[in-house]
Structure 1
Amino acid sequence: MQRAATRRVAILGATGAVGGGALAELLRSPAIAGVTSLGRRSLADAPASPKLTQHVVDLEDAAGYAPLLAGHDAAICTLGVGQPTKVPREALWKIDVDYVMAFATACRDQGVGSFALLGAVGADADSSVDYLRMKGELEAQVIALGFFRTSLFRPSMLLTPHNRYGVGQAILLKVWPKLDWLLAGRLRRFRGITVADLGRAMARDAERDDPGVHVYHWDEFSALARATS
């Protein structure tokens, strides 16, 4: 007989493409008892589910929303700027680092055991590329919080069902999947992943409770997306 679901997950960033995919999968999962979505706005098209609780919060005020995180087993953070090259570095840092770290710290302080972070392939605190260095520094800060389980997702090209950012993205969405066969060996990590599959992988990860730091590239999160609850 299947055990009753008891695991509760908090998510920040469910209004985004990957976060929305993760939320939908969490709500379908028989292993998840409840999901709390925090965000700057409510999810108008959120799946109807008694498992889901939504809170509109001020991301500048982590102390104000921290109590909402109590009693959760895991947290997922997919918050980030969709087009990082289109915003000033200060704004990018505030959203991608400051808000994320405030959320992660609040999760840790409220006893959340597992934390999953959406990052980028090539994230490295020593990278010569500013964006990848920022992502690497963020990962290092999250690891330093000392969660029982930390999961770092590092995708390359995110394949969305619709073009959201104009001609450049339209070309990439059309061409990138056809390049997968060229991306072999160490280059496999640069293969594209649909936002639905990546969200599903993050949901599957939230069901797990083995300790340590887990780093996911294309092979790992593709396998995780195929796993069952």
Structure 2
Amino acid sequence: MIGATGAVGGHTVKELLQMPEIGKLTLLGRRTVPYLVSKVVDQYKINLFDPSSYAELVSGHQTAICTLGVGQSSKVSKEDFIKIDKQAVLDFAQECKKSGITHFELLASVGTSTESSSFYLRTKGELVEALKEMRFERLSVFQPSMILTPTNRYGFSQGVLLKFWPLLKPFLFGRLRKYRGVKVTDLGRAIARNVLTPKKREEYLVWDDFERLTK
């Protein structure tokens, strides 16, 4: 797994550790998750931009989880965003594929598409298309809308969204249900539990799927 030190990744790890079916969990990142002690967890500091720094560590696993991403895409250059959110993920996925991993889980976003007018969503769409071409036996793409965290991590604008987005829930129905906000705890739980659900070749999970997986 890469991205374990982020908000969603941290909750994904917590849920995985509650699942007795998980025999081994390897966390790769630029830093380790502090105070995490478990007999099934191995943590390694790696260079995300140098696959040779972790190539030998991905073997022996069945599923790869990627929750890696820039917290505030508007605060970094387009070049850095592509480097972190696209290229580093593709490098990781390629090593996973070569090692025999069959299931790849990706945290993306609602609206992800190569045809989007949004640079962020278009880049994510290009990433998903590249992952599809790798032909994992199973590819799971999580597409949340607003991720509701208990604290404001990114300033005034996020604070406003965290306060008012939940109020929109009654108005988001039918095709708009996928835009409902999801608690970060529920999203992490859904990503973890999906590892053990019946297999689908290619799946795109949105709000209703998160609800199903967390019940």
TM range (shorter): over 0.9
In 2, the alpha carbon distance for the partners of 1:95 and 1:209 equals: 31
In 2, the alpha carbon distance for the partners of 1:179 and 1:40 equals: 37
Query: Structure 1 unaligned runs (5+)?
Result: 1-10
Matched, 1:180 2:169: yes
In 1, the alpha carbon distance for the partners of 2:165 and 2:35 equals: 29
Q: C-alpha root-mean-square deviation of aligned residues, in Å?
A: 1.0
Q: Please say if residues 149 and 209 of structure 1, whose CA atoms lie closer than 8 Å, have aligned partners that are also in contact.
A: no
**What secondary structure is seen at the aligned counterpart in 1 of 2:17?**
helix
Q: Which residue of 2 aligns with 1:17?
A: 7
In 1, the alpha carbon distance for the partners of 2:2 and 2:40 equals: 16
Q: State the Cα deviation string for residues 101-154 of structure 1 (Å, max 9, x = none).
A: 011111111111100000010001111222111111100011111111000000
Matched, 1:33 2:23: yes
**What secondary structure is seen at the aligned counterpart in 2 of 1:177?**
helix
Please report how far the alpha carbon of residue 213 of structure 1 lies from its aligned counterpart in structure 2 after TM superposition: 0.3
**Which is further off, 122-131 or 100-109?**
122-131
Please report how far the alpha carbon of residue 25 of structure 1 lies from its aligned counterpart in structure 2 after TM superposition: 0.6
Overall identity of the aligned pairs, in % = 47
Q: Which residue of 1 aligns with 2:55?
A: 66
In 2, the alpha carbon distance for the partners of 1:220 and 1:208 equals: 12
In 1, the alpha carbon distance for the partners of 2:132 and 2:121 equals: 16
Q: Which residue of 2 aligns with 1:150?
A: 139
Letter of the aligned partner of 1:118 in structure 2? L
Equivalences for residues 57-206 of structure 1 within 5 A = 57-206=46-195
Please report how far the alpha carbon of residue 209 of structure 1 lies from its aligned counterpart in structure 2 after TM superposition: 5.7
**What secondary structure is seen at the aligned counterpart in 1 of 2:162?**
helix
**What secondary structure is seen at the aligned counterpart in 1 of 2:144?**
coil
Q: Which residue of 2 aligns with 1:42?
A: 32
Q: Please say if residues 154 and 217 of structure 1, whose CA atoms lie closer than 8 Å, have aligned partners that are also in contact.
A: yes
Of 195, 198, 211, 1:222 maps to 211
Please report how far the alpha carbon of residue 207 of structure 1 lies from its aligned counterpart in structure 2 after TM superposition: 2.1
**Which is further off, 204-213 or 147-156?**
204-213
In 2, the alpha carbon distance for the partners of 1:165 and 1:128 equals: 24
In 2, the alpha carbon distance for the partners of 1:113 and 1:189 equals: 27
Tell me the TM-score normalised to structure 1 length.
0.91
Displacement over 2 Å in runs of 4+: none
Letter of the aligned partner of 2:95 in structure 1? A
Tell me the TM-score normalised to structure 2 length.
0.97
Q: Please say if residues 13 and 39 of structure 1, whose CA atoms lie closer than 8 Å, have aligned partners that are also in contact.
A: yes
Letter of the aligned partner of 2:6 in structure 1? G
**What secondary structure is seen at the aligned counterpart in 2 of 1:82?**
coil
Q: State the Cα deviation string for residues 183-204 of structure 1 (Å, max 9, x = none).
A: 1111110000011110110101
**What secondary structure is seen at the aligned counterpart in 2 of 1:53?**
strand
Query: Structure 2 unaligned runs (5+)?
Result: none
Please report how far the alpha carbon of residue 13 of structure 1 lies from its aligned counterpart in structure 2 after TM superposition: 0.2
